[in-house]
Structure 1
Amino acid sequence: MSLLHHLAHDRNETALKKHLSTSLKILVSLGLIAYLFWRMDLAQVKMVLYSANYLYLLPAALLFLAAMTNSALKWYILLRAQRIEVPFHAILSYTYVGFFFNNFLPANVGGDVMRGYGLARYTERTAEAAISVIVDRIVGLAAFMVCAAVSAAVAILFMHQKELQGVELAAVMALGLVVGGFAALLSRRIRAQLGKAFRWRPLVPLSPLYHRTSEALDAYRHSYGALAAAFCVSLSTLILTNMTDYFIAQSLGGGLALIYIFIFNPIIAFVLLVPVSIGGLGVTQAIYPFFYGLVGVPASFAFSISLLKQLVIYVTSVLGGILWWRGKAGAGETARHVVEASGT
């Protein structure tokens, strides 16, 4: 009885911590929004939004949907490198569901967890599913930081934007961190050293999971073609999301140079990985004026872009919600049947 009581206490404590963490993130989002509305010139924001041509949001939404589909293609390529045979429509379904849950879970991390969970149920290969999501994210971040670094260098050298030197340095450092971290993950020597920690008695039960995860990483050690292809697909995904922001800016009257979007959009995506808010709400609205303010873009204009970008994300991710609901409605079936049904 005492053991059952102890387990119940642990579950309750874990649930409480989870609820507190979620509540804190909601407070961060609401607090940032309230602060920004207090600091922002709301009359100017209203004027910008009132004069907008919202027809531009249609191509913006279509471009964002294309970017989500492209993300699924990148994941599909990486899964093939692991010899995980999953139909593309299933990968597409999990990708859309992940984007949907990004709106309600911490930043982009929550969506990654949801699509990894779905794939693990489908394939019954938990370690491989988790590693595929991690590698997918790493390759994407590497491509994003390359784009930011190169674009910033172009602006500095040819547009004499010396104020972007700090941004250039940050992008290069972030790229080094991402590539260095990935190299460490692929190193058998480093993983072998880390594996010794699982000889410690409290960690022994986790040892099989660690070794399966380590073996899953080996699939990418010499998958140069797949990694290069995934990197190129990531760049094309970034172009699509950059053009999404460009059309949103055009809806507000334009005047925002495309080169600045190529610099700041990938950096903003990198910052949003920090899980301090729900779906990036509040943080997105704070960092758009900050970064674009570095090149003289009015805060009200950048803030308005962030609001419309959030709207585009909410609207386009509804498809993921529909796919998730269809899967939930068929909960009596296996996960495989649910996903196959969503692809018809």
Structure 2
Amino acid sequence: MRKGLKLGIKLGVSAGLVIWAFSGENFRPERLGPILASSRPSALVLALLTFVVSNVLGAVQWRVLLGMQGIVLPFGDLLSLYFTGIFFNNFFVGGVGGDAVRIYEVRRETGRGGGAFAATLLDRLLGFFSLSIFACGTMLVIPSLPFSRLTGAAFVALLASGLAVLLSRRISGLLERLSLRLLPEGMGRKVSKVREGLVRARLDLGRLALAWAISLGVQSLRVSVHYWTGRALGVHAPLWSFFAFVPLIALAAAVPISFGGIG
């Protein structure tokens, strides 16, 4: 009953936001046909190719993070799982359904659920951190944007602090002890395994830095997908504007208040 109620609320939030967006003065349904008819196929092809390359590079990043946990699988299998995860992310709350699918499949293949969770969690956090860097950097460079530089810098600092907390042996150890005390025994053991994976990542800073460098490339390509799609539909906004707004939209879509981030 409670799950159904939560799902209904999220569907309602998504529907309300979509209706609100489409009811604005600048939205005219009769314009959609001519816009789509006049779209540029070459730009759409570039958007599609950029999207595919970003996911291949994302699978490489995930492979690096899994390798830090001692998990080795054929790259073809990881690439297939990554694309499957991207598909499911469109239909689950906060866009994390695909992450759950990836973790489950790696656990099924290797029996290393804790390591798979830690690697996938770091994959998601590095992506958020890279997007925040883009948004904050654009705010600092372009003073005319309607955002506070202090707010952008504070957001990046907050996310960086959260990442540092997760990788801290002392703080993660405290969280582990609290979990073992407050959670059921089986769940507490799972938290311990995840914590071990995060500490292992902290001890391998070289590969962690490599994963973050790849993440910057992945997120740059994904922002560029929006740019090329906009160009195909006649939107000639400068590239920097996409690096300012797309990260904010992506971060907002990760908040679990709507269905699959729709709205």
Partner Cα distance (1:19, 1:92) in 2: 33
The Cα of 1:38 is off from its aligned counterpart by 2.2
Query: Normalized against structure 1, the TM-score is what?
Result: 0.70
**Larger RCO (CA under 8 A, 6+ residues apart):** 2
Residue 81 of structure 1 corresponds to which residue in structure 2? 68
Does 1:239 find its partner at 2:220? yes
Residue 23 of structure 2 corresponds to which residue in structure 1? 38
Is the CA contact (8 Å cut-off) linking 2:90 and 2:260 kept in structure 1?
yes
Count of aligned positions: 261
The Cα of 1:255 is off from its aligned counterpart by 2.3
Does 1:134 find its partner at 2:121? yes
Is the CA contact (8 Å cut-off) linking 2:180 and 2:189 kept in structure 1?
no
Residue 281 of structure 1 corresponds to which residue in structure 2? 262
Residue 266 of structure 1 corresponds to which residue in structure 2? 247
Q: Counterpart of 2:209 in structure 1: which amino acid?
A: A
Partner Cα distance (1:112, 1:126) in 2: 12
The Cα of 1:97 is off from its aligned counterpart by 0.8
The Cα of 1:187 is off from its aligned counterpart by 1.7
Partner Cα distance (2:231, 2:182) in 1: 60
Partner Cα distance (1:130, 1:62) in 2: 29
Residue 288 of structure 1 corresponds to which residue in structure 2? none
Partner Cα distance (1:279, 1:45) in 2: 27
Q: Counterpart of 1:39 in structure 2: which amino acid?
A: G
Q: Counterpart of 1:252 in structure 2: which amino acid?
A: L
SS at match of 1:255: coil
Partner Cα distance (1:99, 1:262) in 2: 21
Q: 1:206 to 1:242 in 2, by over 3 A?
A: closer
SS at match of 1:39: coil
Is the CA contact (8 Å cut-off) linking 1:171 and 1:267 kept in structure 2?
no
Does 1:53 find its partner at 2:34? no
Q: 1:170 to 1:272 in 2, by over 3 A?
A: farther
Does 1:192 find its partner at 2:157? no
Query: Normalized against structure 2, the TM-score is what?
Result: 0.90
Partner Cα distance (1:105, 1:198) in 2: 26
Residue 27 of structure 1 corresponds to which residue in structure 2? 12
Mean CA deviation greater in 273-282 or 95-104: 273-282
The Cα of 1:202 is off from its aligned counterpart by 5.8
Is the CA contact (8 Å cut-off) linking 2:91 and 2:259 kept in structure 1?
yes
Is the CA contact (8 Å cut-off) linking 1:109 and 1:275 kept in structure 2?
no
Q: Counterpart of 1:35 in structure 2: which amino acid?
A: W
Does 1:224 find its partner at 2:205? yes
The Cα of 1:153 is off from its aligned counterpart by 1.5
Does 1:70 find its partner at 2:57? yes
Q: 1:98 to 1:152 in 2, by over 3 A?
A: same
Does 1:148 find its partner at 2:135? yes
CA deviations over 1:266-292 (Å, ceiling 9, x no partner): 22211111022222222xxxxxxxxxx
The Cα of 1:18 is off from its aligned counterpart by 2.2
Does 1:209 find its partner at 2:211? no
Partner Cα distance (1:59, 1:246) in 2: 10
Q: Which runs of 5+ in 1 are unaligned?
A: 1-15, 283-344
Partner Cα distance (2:247, 2:112) in 1: 31
Partner Cα distance (1:216, 1:202) in 2: 19
Is the CA contact (8 Å cut-off) linking 1:98 and 1:111 kept in structure 2?
yes
Q: Of the two, which has the highest radius of gyration?
A: 1
Is the CA contact (8 Å cut-off) linking 1:186 and 1:218 kept in structure 2?
yes
The Cα of 1:87 is off from its aligned counterpart by 1.4
The Cα of 1:242 is off from its aligned counterpart by 2.1
Partner Cα distance (2:27, 2:131) in 1: 32
CA RMSD in angstroms, aligned pairs only: 2.1
Residue 99 of structure 1 corresponds to which residue in structure 2? 86
